[in-house]
């Protein structure tokens, strides 16, 4: 489709905005001037995604698309659009005060498209097609397993508190692991006849769950250790950066970390970029409350470890303390420096790990390494 401009024709650049859902997506197409071209609803299937692409291509040249939830409901559509050469941008949900025109799926989809035109998108979406995506999935599975293991441990200790005096005395003073081992040795029978036998039966059941979850976590840790070592071996070599923190930071950056643009963007995404909070003659900064809180927590833990064990960091803390800085201000500065150091190692490592998977040339990878 073309539009006339001064007697000549120029191709229409189509910008898509998509409001994503579980069973269907609603898309709105705008041209480069912000004029609405049409609305379509498609199912969340491969056939539906292909129908959306064909519909948009009939309107003009599709170059960009803004989606809500590229890591959840919109993940499948985002992969399909990227495979077609469309740049996929993550769009934040509309703010409440911007809903004066009401709320509906077409309205939200149009708002997403206009956010792309205005350059107000959150960021380029993660590609989710490489080893870092594997790390993210395994990390999510480990997190849920650890949570379930903690619940099982708490329940075991609760059963010990309410057990009979004789059983409680036998189990008192045992660590959680020893308590689970003792409960695994119980033989209450298949048909408990009293409260003590029921307690033994219940404790053995929870102990089996605790053991199974421990084995599951160990397996996940082994896979995470292997993948992190393959993707970014230099990351775990840094002081205070273990496999768990490295996996968190890798998952936050994604398989296409070049989307972050600069180490300042990386720091902002981690929530460690200082925010100006000056007024009048008072010049100060405050901690950021935004960004990825898991990544922020990882940087905080690295900072704590370095303040305890790293001589260079301890010297820095002593110097800034003598200057009148408190512990919170010093940690804010340290986390910003740590983010800069990690960016210089993490970004080139991920870029080298699978350049073919993202269509990145070896020259582009080398250029990224030189600039970080």
pLDDT, tens digit, 9 for 90 and up, residues 108-159: 898 889 988 888 765 677 776 788 889 999 999 999 999 999 999 999 999 9
State the pLDDT at residue 365.
Answer: 36
Domain end, chosen from 170, 203, 231, is at: 231
Say whether 105 sits in a helix, a strand or coil: helix
Domain span holding position 103: 2-124
Compute the distance between CA of residue 177 and CA of residue 188 in angstroms, rounded to an integer: 20
Report H helices in the chain. Answer: 46-59, 75-83, 105-118, 131-162, 165-171, 176-184, 195-231, 233-236, 243-253, 263-269, 293-309, 311-322, 327-353, 355-358, 362-371
What is the structure's pLDDT at 350?
67
**Which residue, of 104, 124, 144, is where some domain finishes?**
124
Q: Are 16 and 71 part of one and the same domain?
A: yes
| Res 359 pLDDT > 60 | no
- Cα 295 to Cα 304: distance, rounded to the nearest angstrom: 14
* Residue-level pLDDT at 93: 72
Mean pLDDT in the chain?
84
Whether 171 and 279 map to the same domain: the answer is: no
Q: Return the CATH number at 44.
A: 3.30.420.140
Domain boundary among 196, 212, 231: 231
pLDDT value for 366:
42
Residue 6 has pLDDT above 60, yes or no: no
| pLDDT of res. 95 | 66
Q: Same domain for 110 and 152?
A: no
pLDDT of residue 260: 78
- Whole-angstrom Cα distance, residue 233 to residue 246? 10
One domain, residues 119 and 138: no
**Does residue 359 sit in the same domain as residue 244?**
yes
Whether 58 and 107 map to the same domain: the answer is: yes
Whether residue 242 sits in one domain with residue 222: no
Say yes or no: 34 and 96 in one domain. Answer: yes
Q: Could you give the 3-state DSSP secondary structure of residue 3?
A: strand
Mean pLDDT across 337-353: 80
Q: Work out the percent of the chain whose per-residue pLDDT is above 70.
A: 87
Q: How confident is the model at residue 98 (pLDDT cuts 50, 70, 90)?
A: low
Q: Are residues 114 and 149 in the same domain?
A: no
pLDDT digits (tens, 9 = 90+) for 18-65: 999 999 999 999 998 899 999 999 999 999 999 999 999 999 989 899
Mean pLDDT of 165-173: 86
**CA–CA separation, 223 vs 156, rounded Å?**
29
Beta-sheet pairing, 2-5 with 8-11: antiparallel
Checking if the pLDDT of 166 tops 60, the result is yes
> Is the domain of 10 the same as that of 113?
yes
Tens-digit pLDDT profile for residues 193-252: 888 889 999 999 999 999 999 999 999 999 999 999 998 888 989 999 999 999 999 988
What's the pLDDT tens digit per position in 282-297?
777 777 777 888 999 9
pLDDT at 120: 75
Mean pLDDT, residues 92-114 taken together: 77
Q: What's the pLDDT at 135?
A: 93
**Is the domain of 260 the same as that of 316?**
yes
Average pLDDT over residues 294-323: 94
In contact, 150 and 180? CB cutoff 8 Å: no
What global pTM score does this model have?
A: 0.74
pLDDT band at 363 (very low <50, low <70, confident <90, very high): very low
Task: Tally the domains of the chain.
Answer: 3
At 282 the pLDDT is 77
Altogether, the residues listed in the chain come to a count of 372
Residue 332 pLDDT greater than 80, yes or no: yes
Residues 241 and 362 in one domain: yes
């Amino acid at each position: 489709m073309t539009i006339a401009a001064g007697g000549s024709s120029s191709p229409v650049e189509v910008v898509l905005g998509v409001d994503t859902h579980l069973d269907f997506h609603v898309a709105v197409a705008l041209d480069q001037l912000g004029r609405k071209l049409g609305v379509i609803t498609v199912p969340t299937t491969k056939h539906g995604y292909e129908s959306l692409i064909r519909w948009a291509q009939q309107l003009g040249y599709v170059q960009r698309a803004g989606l809500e939830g590229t890591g959840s409901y919109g993940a499948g559509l985002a992969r399909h659009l990227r495979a077609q050469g469309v740049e996929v941008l993550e769009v934040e949900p509309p703010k409440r005060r911007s809903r004066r025109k009401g709320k509906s799926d077409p309205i939200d989809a149009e708002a997403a498209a206009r956010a792309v035109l205005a350059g107000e998108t959150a960021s380029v979406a993660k590609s989710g097609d490489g080893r870092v995506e594997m790390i993210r999935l395994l990390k999510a599975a480990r997190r849920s397993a650890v949570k379930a293991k903690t619940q099982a441990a708490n329940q075991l200790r609760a059963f010990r508190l309410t057990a009979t005096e004789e059983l409680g005395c036998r189990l008192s003073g045992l660590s959680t692991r020893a308590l689970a081992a003792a409960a695994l040795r119980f033989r209450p029978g298949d048909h408990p006849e009293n409260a003590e036998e029921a307690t033994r039966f219940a404790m053995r059941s929870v102990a089996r769950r605790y053991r199974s979850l421990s084995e599951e976590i160990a397996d996940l840790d082994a896979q995470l250790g292997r993948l992190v070592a393959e993707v970014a071996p230099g990351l775990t070599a840094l002081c205070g950066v273990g496999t768990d923190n490295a996996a968190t930071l890798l998952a936050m950056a994604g398989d296409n970390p070049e989307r972050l643009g600069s180490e300042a963007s990386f720091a902002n995404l981690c929530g460690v970029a200082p925010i100006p909070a000056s007024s009048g003659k008072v010049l100060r900064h405050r901690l950021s409350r935004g960004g990825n809180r898991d990544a922020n927590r990882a940087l905080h833990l690295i900072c704590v470890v370095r303040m305890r064990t790293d001589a260079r960091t301890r010297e820095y803390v002593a110097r800034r303390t003598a200057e009148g800085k408190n512990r919170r201000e010093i940690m804010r500065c340290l986390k910003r420096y740590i983010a800069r150091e990690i960016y210089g190692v993490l970004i080139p490592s991920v870029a080298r790990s699978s350049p073919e998977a993202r269509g990145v040339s070896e020259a582009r990878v080398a250029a990224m390494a030189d600039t970080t």
